[in-house]
Structure 1
Amino acid sequence: MTAGETLRGLLELTRPVNVIAASVLTGIGAFVAGGVTSHPVEVVAAVVATGLAVGAGNAINDYFDREIDRINQPQRAIPRGAVSPRGALLFSAALFAGAIGFALVLPRLALAIAGINLLALVAYTELFKGLPGLGNALVAYLVGSTFLFGAAAVGEIGPAAVLFLLAGVATLTREIIKDVEDLEGDREEGLRTLPIAIGERPALWVATALLVAAVLASPLPYVLEEFGAIYLAAVLPANAIMLYAAYESFSDPTAGQSRLKYGMFLAAVAFVLGRAVEVVGAA
């Protein structure tokens, strides 16, 4: 393997799209908390730490999954020989070290969230991935916590706590629906996902009930007068899309989980609009 192929393999290990997406979510969390202009150093440190941590988590996931990937994903960096297992492990450790370095400049709450997330990323594949529901819940927490981490980095949780809840539960719902979608393949591979453990429809009802609870909590920033009517006008359609996606998943899991993703995006936009209007109004 040439140096260029190895570098390409290392980049693939990080899942660059996931790294960028998670970093953007952290930035949104900081913006929603109202601290982008007042705490620029902390925001940059949190965004970079998130990207490095996500890249590290993806790399170590591929390290632990290398034998399964030789069968299911032979084109990935380790199975095809672009990166050695030891090289992937060292690369992951270096990224984790970088994430810790950037996180050290952040407030204690953000540092605590970073520490929990780093442990969760390492433990996911070995301890939680095969456990019904728990693996889904951990992924959901990690996605939602990017908003919380960004807010904690600027020392103000505020409405980002509701965004954390909504994003986390919506992600959990989507993960369960995806498991329903992959039911036959997962059963053949001997996995113990939630739909396999308790049944397809009961799993979908669990996912729907959790989503309904999160949707009911979504108006809180408006009720508490943290955001105005613009936020409410944007988050209600997002809620409607996500609830319809959960309903649709009972007949078409593929369409349901895809539609849920759009609802999640619109919900994040609602929080950004809510904060933007507050910033403009205060100017």
Structure 2
Amino acid sequence: MFNAGLFGLFRLMRVELSFAAGICVLLAEVLARGGPPSALQALCGFLAAFFIAASVLVLNDCFDIETDRMNSPLRPLPAELVTCEVAVAFSAVLVLFGLFSAFLLGWQAFIVVAVLLLFGILYNWRIKRYGLAGNLMVAVTVGMTFIFGGVAVGNLSEPMVWFMAVMTLGVDLGEEIAADALDVEGDRRTGSHSLAVMFGSDRAMHVAAGVFGFVLSLGVIPFAFGWFDRVYLLPIVLFDVVVFHSVSRMLNPRIPDRITDIRRIYIAGTAMILVVTLMRLTIG
């Protein structure tokens, strides 16, 4: 039972999403500095984003427990692997680790992380039920991980930091709208005003596809302005192919378990950011 509880807490963190937040910060630090950050900046920047994201995701399951009883009964809380009280306490511990990591980077970094935490709590507590407004809040929070990376190394003037923040914001917005389109029945029962509840899941999914298409079209900007050499085309084009394939599947209501296509975009985006970071460090 003890091991099951630990595994449940691990699942609540949704490590792939928390890891992606940390990777976004690392890339922003590399872009802002024009090279590798210090060991302290890299480690504390990654950990601050990882722990704060994980804490917010744990809280999300606490607020969503009734919805998950219908939509995802195998999640740790509805499956009773972990109690809400334990989950909240675990989230608080993660918050302390995240805030301490940010504090080691300075007061400005600490304030940005505190704002990210506040946004996450407000989203879980109130804003999520308001549909598009909730989607936008999550997307802005994800995009702000790049802003945090720039703050962590003391440089927000690098245009690629802001460009990647906008791109990440757009991708996450599309994923949020698409996820709502797949959870429409549960959201309707819990009083959510998502686009899918208001206008139907098919229309919401087409809106998500439009957001993805717009974001992918922005991919030419860093090459047009000379921010990236052509060698960076490979990871970006591969990501575009994954997004295009996943979106084409998400638009087909006859395909079961389309949530895996949303996860595929998350994973592909994280991999692309990781590859671009390594390329920036090795070839400039």
TM range (shorter): 0.7 to 0.9
1:143 aligns with 2:131: no
- Residue matched to 2:28: 29
CA contact (8 A) 2:129 2:191 kept: no
- Residue matched to 2:125: 126
- The size of the alignment, in residue pairs, is 281
- Residue matched to 2:59: 60
The equivalences for 1:37-56 within 5 A come to 37-56=36-55
Counterpart CA distance in 2 for 1:152 and 1:269 is 23
Q: CA deviation at 1:215?
A: 2.3
- Residue matched to 2:115: 116
CA contact (8 A) 1:227 1:275 kept: no
Pair 1:108–1:235, CA change in 2 (3 A): farther
CA RMSD, 1 decimal = 3.5
Question: Could you tell me which amino acid in structure 1 is paired with residue 121 of structure 2?
Answer: V
1:198 aligns with 2:196: no
Bigger Cα displacement from structure 2, 156-165 vs 168-177: 156-165
- Residue matched to 1:178: 179
TM-score (norm 2): 0.78
* Structure 1: 5+ residue stretches without partners: none
Q: CA deviation at 1:6?
A: 5.0
Bigger Cα displacement from structure 2, 260-269 vs 14-23: 260-269
CA contact (8 A) 1:176 1:207 kept: yes
Q: CA deviation at 1:46?
A: 1.3
Bigger Cα displacement from structure 2, 244-253 vs 38-47: 244-253
1:152 aligns with 2:141: no
Counterpart CA distance in 1 for 2:262 and 2:109 is 28
Counterpart CA distance in 2 for 1:198 and 1:89 is 34
Q: CA deviation at 1:228?
A: 0.5
* Structure exhibiting the larger radius of gyration computed from Cα positions: 1
Bigger Cα displacement from structure 2, 194-203 vs 254-263: 254-263
Secondary structure, in 3 states, of the residue corresponding to 2:87? helix
Pair 1:59–1:181, CA change in 2 (3 A): closer
CA contact (8 A) 1:230 1:274 kept: no
Secondary structure, in 3 states, of the residue corresponding to 2:129? coil
CA contact (8 A) 2:23 2:273 kept: no
Q: CA deviation at 1:33?
A: 3.8
Counterpart CA distance in 2 for 1:270 and 1:61 is 26
Question: Could you tell me which amino acid in structure 1 is paired with residue 116 of structure 2?
Answer: N
Secondary structure, in 3 states, of the residue corresponding to 1:218? helix
TM-score (norm 1): 0.78
Q: CA deviation at 1:30?
A: 2.8
* Structure 2: 5+ residue stretches without partners: none
Question: Could you tell me which amino acid in structure 2 is paired with residue 110 of structure 1?
Answer: A
Counterpart CA distance in 2 for 1:246 and 1:259 is 7
Pair 1:151–1:189, CA change in 2 (3 A): same
Sequence identity percentage: 24
Q: CA deviation at 1:249?
A: 3.4
The equivalences for 1:1-283 within 5 A come to 7-34=6-33, 37-69=36-68, 76-78=75-77, 83-107=82-106, 110-157=109-156, 158=158, 159-243=160-244, 245-252=246-253, 258-259=260-261, 262=264, 265-266=267-268, 269=271, 273-274=275-276, 276-281=278-283
Pair 1:102–1:112, CA change in 2 (3 A): same
CA contact (8 A) 2:103 2:109 kept: no
Pair 1:95–1:188, CA change in 2 (3 A): closer
- CA shift digits 1:71-98 (9 cap, x unpaired): 6656555556655443433332232122
Counterpart CA distance in 2 for 1:73 and 1:220 is 39
Question: Could you tell me which amino acid in structure 2 is paired with residue 172 of structure 1?
Answer: L
- CA shift digits 1:26-48 (9 cap, x unpaired): 33333344467342201211111
Pair 1:222–1:155, CA change in 2 (3 A): farther
Q: CA deviation at 1:119?
A: 0.5
